[in-house]
Amino acid sequence: MGLMSLLVRSAITGVERFYPERVITNDDLSKVVDTNDEWIQTRTGIKERRRVKKGQASSDLAAEAIEKLLRRTQTDVLDVDLIIVGTVTPDMMFPSTACQIQKKIGAKNAWGFDLSAACSGFLFSLGTGDQYVLGGKYKKVIVVGVDVMSSIVDPQDRNTCVLFGDGAAAVMLEQIPEGTQLGILDFIHRTDGNGGEYLYMPAGGSLNPASAETLEKRMHYVHQEGKQVFKYAVNEMANISEEILEKNGFKPEDVDLFVPHQANLRIIESCQKRLGLPDSKVMVNIGKYANTTAATIPSCLAMAVEDGRLKKGDLVLLASFGAGFTWGATLLRWAY
C-alpha cells in the first residue's frame, strides 16, 4: 500500500443550522432605543435578528442544530467521538457548554470542550477539529458555532444592540482520502491581544467578578469601539484571505464561494471588493439574522447547501474577524 493511500484529510460531510423562533425587527428596536430602520440598514445591512425565549440557552440552540445534523448525515449519536463548541456565551462558567450538549443529545461516547475566540470561534474550532481528525484517533467530530448574544448585549446601547442575533450551526468532520483532493486544504489563525481594548466584556470573569458595582456600571455587557473594530476587520479579513489563497497557489477568481463572517455588510462588501468577487460568489445572511458571532459562518454554509450554491469540488474560502483581536481563514474543497 502506497504512502498516498494512507494519508487522509478531514472534510465537512454535513452542516445544519438552528435559530430561535422570535424575530426582532429594526422597528421593534426603535421602540426601545433612539434608532430607526433606515439608520440600522444603512450602517449595518441588518433588517432583523432572532432572539431566544427566556430559559433558552446556547446549549439548547446547539443541540437542535446537532440533532438536525445527525439526521442529515444519518449518524448514530453514539458514534460521535468529539464535540467542539465555539462560543462566548456559554450556559454558565462551568460545566462547559459541550458537556451540556453532550447530555442533551445523548452522545454518551463523546467528549468535548468549549473554545473562546469570539467571532472567530467557529474557524478556530474547525481548525482544531481538523487536527483531531488528522491524528486518526477520532472519526466523527462535531464542530458547532453558537452564541446567544442577546444575553450580553446592552439593550440600552443602540451602537451594539442592533448588531447581534442568536443562533447556532454545526458541521460534521470526518476523514476523507487525500487523493480525492476534497476537504480542508489549509487554515491560518491569528491573534493580537492589543485589540482587546476595542471589543470586550469587562466583568463576569476573575478580573471583575460580579458585584453591585459591576452591575451598576453595566460591565456585564459588550463594550465596543466600532470604528476601530471596523478598520481592523476590513484590513485583516482581506489580508488573510489573500494570504491563504496565495500560499496554496490560488487566485481570488478560483474561489467558487466566499463565506465571510457576518459582522457588518460594509465590512463584507469591502473585503469582497478587495478580492474582486461578484455577488454570486459571496454568501450573505446578515440582513435576516444579524451577527450571530460564532454561528455566522456555519449558518451561511448551511444556507448555501439549502440554496444549491455549493457542489462537490467547489473551492470555498472562509474568513473571520473577532474580539481579541482574533482572525483567520480556511480554504477547503466541498466534499459532498
Residues involved in catalysis: 119, 261, 291
Enter the DSSP assignment of 324. T
Which pairs from 27-36 meet CB under 8 Å and 24+ separation? 29/158, 29/161, 29/162, 32/155, 32/156, 32/161, 33/155, 33/156, 33/157, 33/158, 33/161, 33/162, 34/158, 35/158, 35/162
* Closest to 159 (Cα-Cα) out of 222, 203, 219, 220: 222
- Provide the phi-psi class of 113: left if phi over 0, else alpha when psi is between -120 and 50, else beta: beta
What whole-number distance in Å separates Cα of residue 108 and Cα of residue 334? 30
Buried b (16+ CB within 10 A) or exposed e, 143-174: bbbbbbbbbbbeeebbebbbbbbbbbbbbbbb
Alpha carbon separation from 79 to 18, 138, 141, 232 (Å, rounded): 22, 10, 10, 41
